[in-house]
Amino acid sequence: MSFPIQSELNNLFIAAAELIFNADHVLITAGAGMGVDSGLPDFRGVSGFYRAYPAFKLTGKSFADIANPVTLFEEPKTFWWFYGHRFELYTRVKPHLGYNIVKNWVERKSGFVYTSNVDGHFAKIGVAPNRIVECHGSIRYLQCAIDCDNHLKLIENLPFRVEENAFNFNGALPRCLSCGGYARPNILMFDDFYWNETRVRRQAAEFLRWIEEIEARRKSLVVVEIGAGKAIPRIREKSESMNVPIIRINPNIDDAKVKFGISVPVGALEALKNINKHLIKMRLGKFTNK
């Protein structure tokens, strides 16, 4: 599959806009590629992780090694330097314009967002809390490292500041309010037996009710999948499980392929802006195939 020329891309943008325009509802499924245009790393492969965190290359540790609850007990400062840096990055970075476009689609089409991203950026730009599933959790919440109770704490900041020198920070390690042991982000990690799923289960229940209502009313649905890779295919699997047309946005041509729908092999922001441009024209009755 070769990369399409600009005129072919424009036809893809138009076709995607038509699918959204004609659908009663829209489901946005988003992976790490959604945040790349905001300046966030996507950890694509081992090299992607080391580009974002070169200090870990010297230690030989992979993303799976660090994003593991065992590391919190064996190397608590290393663990929290990594997650502290990510928390500060996700808090500091402003979501790109594509998030606002998605928010508008969700509001207009009584839609839903289903994302594996833990940055909290869909909530940050104002997507209604009852219209989001963060299937891997959110870095904005803390839980007990051994899940001693079901308590989750929404946080605005951490009790320490990350230093630029790897694995150093000033301040105290986050602690569980109930047992006094270590606290950790409420994020699904590798080999994770202590993840508190309470919040995600509530979100998933809202999502299921939404799907059941669409099916009961025999309404049409389209999926817009953004930046979802194959390495951890949960988002792609969710998109395909809907059994409706998929608009698959991914700058990797192979990852953009889709059996039933439209493949849009460009980045999130470029795709969303161009699709939305044609969608606005359709709403205003001013659409021409140009």
Task: Report in angstroms the alpha-carbon separations of 67 from 148, 158, 290.
Answer: 20, 18, 47
SS3 269: helix
Pick the CATH number of 6-284 from 3.90.1640.10, 3.40.30.10, 3.40.50.80, 3.40.50.1220: 3.40.50.1220
**Does residue 26 surpass a pLDDT of 60?**
yes
The catalytic residues are 136
Instruction: Write out pLDDT tens, residues 179-219.
Output: 999 999 999 999 999 999 999 999 999 999 999 999 999 99
Distance CA 192, CA 69 (A): 6
Query: Binding-site residues for Zn(2+), please?
Result: 144, 148, 176, 179
Query: Binding-site residues, please?
Result: 144, 148, 176, 179
What percent of the chain is modeled with pLDDT above 70? 95
| Strand ranges across the sheet with 137-144 | 153-154, 137-144, 183-187
Give me the pLDDT at residue 3, please.
Answer: 56
**Does residue 288 surpass a pLDDT of 80?**
no
